[in-house]
Amino acid sequence: MSMDLSNVSEKLMEGKVDELKQLTEQALQSEVNPADILNQGLLPGMDAVGQKWKDGDMFMPEVLRCAKAMSGAMDILRPHLSEGDMGNAGTMVIGTVAGDLHDIGKDLAAMMFEGAGYKVINIGIDQPNENFVKAVKEHKPNVLGMSALLTTTMPRMGEVINSLKEAGIRDQVAVIIGGAPVTEEFAEEIGADLYAPNAGGAVDITREFFEKKSA
């Protein structure tokens, strides 16, 4: 069933946690395609939040509230997405590097990948280098995502890549990095495969990467 999902985006942008949950449940009960709820409701809402935040039209407490609303809606939607009509794009392990407690951008990226059909193993914040390597060995993902928000913790990303090489598993996984201080140049410097300035773009460039690889 099709439905105008702009109210889903609006409730998300207003950070209405409970109302957004109710709306998501109602949409599912009305047999709206779960992928549409995500792609036409939640993700455009979250994109708009990101833009407002960038433009200085929204402040951190509001952004946190919106992320909480997104997360609550995703808890309801997730079982329907994994069962349903979104293909299994692969597996992703994602985490924030050691010494770094920032998780909002990392969780947004995790949600975007989940929405794009990835099975996402989110190992959390402040993860020692060896935990990334351990998770790659254990879950055999095709994508490893790392997030860093501090200039002092960015070097951990290169160290993880070196540890993957030492473990002989670097070639098994595409490494994507992101976070406010991270740049394309830095990604090249440390030998990451991909860099994304935002969580939504991360999914697109990963998709392109695998398409080129298999062409």
Does the protein bind ligand B1M through residue 44 (CB under 6 A)? Answer: no
Q: What is the arrangement of strands in the sheet containing 194-195, beginning at the earlier edge strand?
A: 118-127, 90-97, 143-147, 174-178, 194-195
Q: Does residue 193 belong to the site contacting ligand B1M (CB under 6 A)?
A: no
How many whole angstroms separate alpha carbon 75 and alpha carbon 88? 18
Q: What DSSP line would sit under 28-94, residue for residue? A: HHTT--HHHIIIIIIHHHHHHHHHHHHHTSS-HHHHHHHHHHHHHHHHHHHHHHHHTTS---EEEEE
Query: Are 177 and 194 a contacting pair, CB within 8 Å?
Result: yes
Nearer to ligand B1M, 163 or 198 (CB): 198
Query: Among 1-9, 73-81, 144-152, 185-193, which window interacts with ligand B1M (CB under 6 A)?
Result: 144-152
Query: Binding to ligand B1M by residue 142, rule CB under 6 A?
Result: no
Q: Which stretch binds ligand B1M (CB under 6 A): 18-26, 31-39, 82-90, 175-183?
A: 175-183
Pick the stretch among 23-31, 116-124, 139-147, 156-164 that binds ligand B1M (CB under 6 A): 139-147
Kindly determine how many residues on this chain lie close enough to bind ligand B1M according to the rule CB under 6 A. 30
101 interacts with ligand B1M by CB under 6 A? yes
Rounded Cα gap, residues 133 and 164, in angstroms: 6
Residues from 12 through 31 that contact ligand B1M (CB under 6 A)? none
Looking at the Cβ atoms of 60 and 215, the one nearer to ligand B1M is 60
180 in helix, strand or coil?
coil
Length of the chain: 215
SS (H, E, C) 96-149: EECCCCCCHHHHHHHHHHHHCCEEEEEEEEEECHHHHHHHHHHHCCCEEEEECC
Decide: is 149 part of the binding site for ligand B1M (CB under 6 A). yes
For ligand B1M, the binding residue among 145, 158, 193, 203 (CB under 6 A) is: 145
From 108, 111, 157, 192, residue interacting with ligand B1M (rule: CB under 6 A)? 108
Find the binder of ligand B1M among 42, 93, 176, 187 (CB under 6 A): 176
Contact 129, 95 (CB under 8 A): no
Positions in the binding site for ligand B1M (CB under 6 A): 50, 60, 63, 94, 99-106, 108-109, 145-147, 149-151, 176-181, 196, 198-199, 202
